[in-house]
Structure 1
Amino acid sequence: MDVGSTPRLVPKAMLKRDKVRDADLLLLPERVVRLNASGAAILRLCDGTRSVRDVVDRLEEEFGASGLIDEVLTFLNDAHDQGWVVSG
């Protein structure tokens, strides 16, 4: 995956906010992944229409941060390897 890729969740995956546990979850067949806040923020933006660069720009604006590209790419590549996201 690179900055021009357009990641999206795999069709069998769904993000959910568990209010009881105060946690963001990625629901997959036969598996539930508890996400940290940054992971959930990244995956929420992965809708197949935004490039990785767009996702990074949005996160940097939302969190008042800069230089997030390496961390976002690392997370998305790991998420891809785990079968959570695909790239268009």
Structure 2
Amino acid sequence: MDETSIPSFPRGVRLRHDETRGQWVLLAPERAFVPDEIGVEILRLVNGETRLGRIIDALAERYAAPREEIAADVLAMVHELAAKRVLRG
């Protein structure tokens, strides 16, 4: 995936807030992932319509952080999740 990719969750995968545990969970068939706070912010912007470049721009603006750093973190995370087949783009 690159900044022109439009990430989405495959069928059966969803991001959900677990009220009991008070944390966000990425649910996939027979698996669950607990993303860190930064991961949650990234995944909450995944809607199957927005390009990664725009997600990176939004996060860089929201956190007043250098875009290059945000881009590196976002791209690393989406590549990892794509390899685990819980994100596609």
The percentage of aligned residue pairs carrying the same residue is 28
Q: CA deviation at 1:19?
A: 2.8
Cα shift at 1:10: 1.1
Structure 2 alignment gaps of length 5 or more: none
Matched, 1:71 2:73: yes
Tell me how far 1:80 sits from its aligned partner.
Answer: 0.4
Partners of 1:9 and 1:43 within 8 A in 2: no
Q: What are the equivalent positions in structure 2 for 1:8-27 lying under 5 Å apart?
A: 8-27=8-27
Q: Which amino acid aligns with 1:56?
A: I
CA RMSD of aligned residues (A): 1.1
Q: Which moved more, 1:57-66 or 1:70-79?
A: 57-66
User: Structure 2 CA distance, aligned partners of 1:12 and 1:30?
Assistant: 10
* 1:5-40 Cα deviation digits (max 9, x unpaired): 111111210111123322110011111111111111
Runs of at least 4 residues of structure 1 off by over 2 A? none
Deviations 1:18-63, CA, capped at 9 Å, x for gaps? 2332211001111111111111111111112111100101111222
Tell me the SS of whatever aligns to 1:4. coil
Shift of the alpha carbon at 1:4?
A: 0.5
Going by fraction, where is strand more abundant, 1 or 2?
1
1:83 Cα deviation from its structure 2 partner: 0.5
1:9-88 mapped onto 2 (5 Å cutoff): 9-67=9-67, 68-87=70-89
Number of matched pairs: 87
Q: Give yes or no for the alignment of 1:7 onto 2:7.
A: yes
